[in-house]
Chains A and B, each alone.
Chain A
């Protein structure tokens, strides 16, 4: 039986080799104008924290935090109806409408927002395209399906008996939601928030197209350095930063999930 894992192990070994190359190059000296790297150095990581990039790191964290909060607020009502509706038709319609963007690729989705934010449909009172506002709208739209799925799974695990009991004891619907449903769905809220935050930290196509070079997040800096300046060591250091942040957050998700199961 163990032998059956060998092909998968081979695939993962290739993936691990790619990440190992990334790690090695993040510690090598960049020689401008050459695709060869120099000797071992920590200069790339010092450059990550240089003043010119701190803005991109700050923007990334701020945009990710705002995206997480707005996505939570937007996804919760949809997830609630999805989990609680008795009608299979409503459930199917909501699933197909909210999940279809999940299946259409990042480029299609982002291009659609280029059209909407670029004053083709309505004329916006404030500039949207190529601003942080516009990037935020795109990021929230991108994160919604994931958050809806996670929250709907959490809410559908709550036994409706608790809500009925609270209501029969005289609690108003708002109070039932605030004191029963919301607290019981907290594990879903926490893991959904952490996953969306982690994903947004390394978002690339949305800030690339909707930011139009004016809004830079960490992944855009990796692309600029790696594909435009051919500074692979510098790009690798930034990519390692994104990887470390993501892994730290997802470890936290694991802790939350483990804490939920008694």
Chain B
């Protein structure tokens, strides 16, 4: 009983901010109040018509799209090599591939800023894409690696012995069997990249900034519920993604390794 009460209280603590953000986003006045004094969609209208958010949304799509399009094939090849290759120092390679995860955001961000300045690329989105590729690569490698490990090489040998070329075997047997890992990797990469903030803050300006950076600037300068509306849209999208992932991937199995 005590356990159940504690868990309910803790889940309430975890979800309280989300509930408040969604409630405030419908607040009719610029002065925040809870519960809201009425119902209004004006802040959603504000989100969709604020030019800086429109520009940042385009940047987000370009940066996340570019980074994921690069990281997915690169990470998949690396996962295949890690599991199948006769590598010396396999665990070292694995550690190096996952290392961008553990570098503090401000260290990576400032490093990319200094590097970009030296290369004269400060005004370009390519720096953001390069940084995002490195940041999402660990998630792709990890997800795909699990699928490669569960793949029975006998299936590929069977295809080859029936006369399929290596390329055809890869395309018709290996890739379809890796689909769950590829899907999970894609999901993680998109979510991580779309929400990346610290590194992006260091290497973007008003023209190249992505949505989380634009939101940060807005929060620092204004107090109206516009960010609550934008946050609600983010939360809705994320809940849908997590819910779908749980339905089709069984998150419990992914995370708890039963």
Q: Which residues on A are within 8 Å of B, measured CB to CB? A: 1-5, 7-8, 11-12, 14-15, 17-22, 25, 35, 74, 77-78, 80-83, 88, 91-92, 94-101, 103-109, 111-116, 118, 120-121, 141, 144-145, 149, 152-153, 156, 198, 201-202, 204-205, 209, 218-219, 222-223, 226-227, 232, 235-236, 239-240, 242-243, 246-247, 250
Contact = CB atoms under 8 A, between A and B. Distances in A.
Interface of B: 3-4, 6-7, 10-11, 13-18, 20-21, 24, 32-34, 70-71, 73-75, 77-78, 80-82, 84-87, 93, 96-97, 99-100, 102-108, 110-115, 117-118, 130-131, 133-134, 137, 141, 191, 194-198, 201-202, 212, 215-216, 219-220, 227-228, 231, 234-235, 238-239, 241-243, 246, 251-252, 255-258
A218 B107 CA distance: 11
Contacts of A236: 110, 114
A5 B145 CA distance: 13
25 contacts: A1-B86, A2-B81, A3-B81, A5-B78, A7-B74, A11-B71, A15-B103, A22-B110, A80-B3, A92-B246, A95-B255, A96-B242, A100-B18, A103-B242, A105-B197, A107-B195, A107-B212, A107-B216, A156-B256, A156-B258, A204-B106, A209-B220, A219-B105, A242-B107, A243-B104
A111 B106 contact: no
Given A4-B77, A11-B133, A202 B107 contact: yes
Nearest to B31: A120
B110 A239 contact: yes
Given A19-B103, A141-B14, A35 B252 contact: no
B103 A246 contact: yes
Contacts of A21: 111, 114-115, 118
